[in-house]
Structure 1
Amino acid sequence: MKRITASAVLFLLAALPVGAVVYKWTDEEGGVHFSDNPHPGAKRLDLEQPPAVSLPPVEEAPSTAPQTSLVTKGYAQFGIAQPQAEATVRNNPGTVIVRFRIEPELRDGDRIRVSLDGQPVDAAALSGAAVELHEIVRGTHTLGAVIEDAMGGVVARADPVTFYMHRPSVNIPANKPPRLP
């Protein structure tokens, strides 16, 4: 017979009505038992009123819907459209395509600068609405993006997006990248 843990006993006791009587006994094999019915050799446990606990109000969880922030200087919308927040990217070589929502289109002289896990991505200065990142290691990552003007000033900033990179293990021979000669 399985033994009952202390937390399971407390849970069972808490489920009983206040003022209920519980009986506890130990069998020949050392197993401890609880019941609301008397048993030969059982000890009677009288349950008292538990103390009242006041919990603080529960705060609403923040929405995971994509948002746009710090939109100024002529951009009505700027955000990361792909990958979506909390998405799992499955790609064996670790490639992530990042797409943006930009309204109106990117102006001449402006460019998008991308950061991955708080570090700027060198190849991510671009003038289009998408960028491809390579050899991203498996795990949790956070993408950030800003639009910079020709002088390097931040014109708009997208809310960061957290995503999960899934790559097969490189320890499996079939998944190892080929060696260059």
Structure 2
Amino acid sequence: MKKLALFICLMICINLTYSQIYKWIDSQGIVHFTDKPHEGAEKIKLPETQTYTPPKTPEEGTTENQKKEEQPTDEEKYTTLSIIQPENEATIRNNQGYIVVAVEVNPELSAGDMVQVIFDGAPMGDPQSNLVFQLNGVYRGSHSIGVQIVTPSGAVIKTSKTIQIFMHRPRVGMGKKK
């Protein structure tokens, strides 16, 4: 009996939510909205309610091979890998031999992947997930700089174009006084 009473109450509440809305203007020009018809009132038509349909989730029967096929290969994973600072053929004037290297990677690095700086053809320092590197103690002269994206196991995924820079140290030996 309680379930029947609850059902009837819910049906009445649902019916109340579907009432019509009316708009009318009184003699003083004030606009009124109501749920009861009034003389000279017009029915308001409401637009369709906005809905959302979530994207389909993968089926439970998806195999590992199908998941691997959907993921890009290592070569396709990164579309952009470039050195944005310093520019190619830049002359850097720094008595201490510091060079800041900034790297652009698109899309962002995946978990575990890191960037390795290649200085004069050899890896310099450890790979890191940070995209800004500081090279210290660079001797004057011409140098080549490149970067690589490497996996945790050390496999190279992508290599940037190598740039050429020129280190100009106007005065050698300006380091710390002894």
Q: TM-score range by the shorter chain?
A: 0.5 to 0.7
Instruction: State the number of aligned residues.
Output: 105
Identical amino acids, percent of aligned pairs: 33
Q: Hey, what does 1:142 align to over in structure 2?
A: 144
Aligned position for 1:156 = 158
- Within-5 A mapping of 1:1-181: 72-123=75-126, 125-170=127-172, 176-180=174-178
Residues 121-156 of structure 1, C-alpha deviation per residue, up to 9 Å, x if partnerless? 124x11111110001011100002110012211111
Secondary structure at the aligned position of 1:72 is classed as helix
Q: Structure 1 residue 176: deviation in Å? A: 2.2
TM-superposed CA distance for 1:99, in Å, is: 0.5
Residue 160 of structure 1: how far off its partner (Å) = 0.3
**Amino acid of the residue matched to residue 177 of structure 1?**
G
Are the aligned partners of 1:147 and 1:156 in contact in 2 as well (CA < 8 Å)? yes
Q: Displacement, 1:97?
A: 0.4
Tell whether the 8 Å contact from 2:101 to 2:135 is kept in structure 1 after alignment: yes
Q: Distance in 2 between matches of 1:119 and 1:157?
A: 13
In structure 2, the residue corresponding to 1:147 is in which secondary structure? Answer: strand
Aligned residue for 1:57?
none
2:150 and 2:158 in contact (8 A); partners too: yes
TM-score with structure 1 setting the length = 0.55
Match in the other structure for 1:58: none
The 2-side partners of 1:141 and 1:92 are apart by 16
Structure 2 unaligned residues grouped into runs of 5+: 1-73
Q: State the distance in 2 between where 1:73 and 1:130 align.
A: 23
1:133 and 1:97 map into 2 onto residues whose CA distance is: 6
SS in 2 for 1:122: strand
Indicate the structure (1 or 2) with the bigger Cα radius of gyration: 2
Aligned to 2:46: none
Whether the 8 Å CA contact 2:117–2:124 is kept in 1: the answer is: yes
Question: 2: CA distance between counterparts of 1:159 and 1:90?
Answer: 23
Could you tell me which amino acid in structure 1 is paired with residue 154 of structure 2? G
